[in-house]
Structure 1
């Protein structure tokens, strides 16, 4: 009795035909290599190590809001000119008036040069040199306050104070040919700091604020 015909498997048919079979390899899902992620090109964003997108805060310029900082400059300028007027009308040249002994006097003095009387005896040309320098610096600060980031408030305060002080001393040079100083800090007769004014204070404090912003805050804004 003939045996019933059994259906041949595909492998048996292939072997009889002389074909060579390559065993299939099961690929684990974990072995698959992920295709590289396309680089993100959107401005103001970055990828974290885990591939998550984070947005960098967009910096907006002061623009018309620079007017607020110009008002601060006017406050510094007004205070400077008012105190200089008081010094001119109430004090006698080079006669100290004790305020807090032995540390602070009001002493009227004229500075024909720059800070610490630099080039004070240059012959007169320094008036126009320092006036032109102050004018250029003031124009630069006016424009810079418009373009400064709105988030950089400490920077704007510093720029505004420097602007007010620079214009205050510029007015002195153009009107009087010298800068009016009257604040005299000293330690008895042992040590004397160069006599200065409110404009000098505004410039010094403003520069200090700008440096603090550059060292500690600028990187945080751009990150």
Structure 2
């Protein structure tokens, strides 16, 4: 009887039949194991581009933060500069105040001297028709000849005003205020000089008035200066400009 020779099966072939659907397939290399086709591989391995974008954003944030801080500091500095306006040098404004005051005082005394020398009381002289006349009088009181019985009191008030103007002139920071204070000081001292040194006696002296306009009391250069000072002070106040030159913006 003829024997048939059998070829023995290998161990792998005997334990795992060919064609089995559950036969595992090992990857050829590490790159194949991490291929994008595997969902588990995608979860395990972070995307390099995403990390790079996050790092770039973080770096940008760190870079912008100091820049924003610098911009904020510069803005605060600009606001602080605008909130504190530069003031003129006080000694220049003090000179303006002194020059205006001395000019008014000198002009007032000069015109009074000329009026006493060339005019006669009760004999008015037409200068510009009926619009302006020279009419010499001696006024013992204040404006409009009021308070003639209180000449010493009026003199004391005018001296106090002159001293107050001198004291406040140290804080001048506005040219408008300097001119107004100069007008006020020159006018007040001009009339004080009359009350102290003119007849009939010290602090009872009569003020020399000689300028007359229709429907108005007779006045002098000192009175004009005081009135102009009052108008200028009102204008400065309405504009919101303070004595030190700063501007009041609270009402805006």
TM-score by length of 2: 0.64
Residue 115 of structure 1 deviates from its aligned partner by 1.3
Matches within 5 A, 1:1-223: 2-4=25-27, 6-7=33-34, 9=41, 11=43, 46=79, 54=82, 56-60=84-88, 62-63=90-91, 65-120=93-148, 123=149, 126-149=150-173, 152-176=174-198, 177-186=205-214, 192-216=215-239, 218=241, 221-222=246-247
Residue 106 of structure 1 deviates from its aligned partner by 0.9
Indicate the structure (1 or 2) with the bigger Cα radius of gyration.
2
Match of 2:126, SS state, is strand
Residue 43 of structure 1 deviates from its aligned partner by 9.8
Find the aligned partners of 2:220 and 2:25 in 1 and give their Cα distance: 125
Structure 1: gaps spanning 5 or more residues:
14-25, 48-52, 187-191
Find the aligned partners of 1:43 and 1:127 in 2 and give their Cα distance: 57
> Which of the two has greater helix per residue?
2
Match of 1:46, SS state, is helix
Find the aligned partners of 2:78 and 2:145 in 1 and give their Cα distance: 51
> Which of the two has greater strand per residue?
1
Which structure is higher in RCO with an 8 Å CA cutoff and minimum separation 6?
1
Residue 206 of structure 1 deviates from its aligned partner by 1.7
Give aligned pairs, total.
Answer: 192
Cα distance change on mapping 1:154 and 1:65 into 2, 3 Å: closer
Alignment RMSD: 3.6
Match of 1:9, SS state, is helix
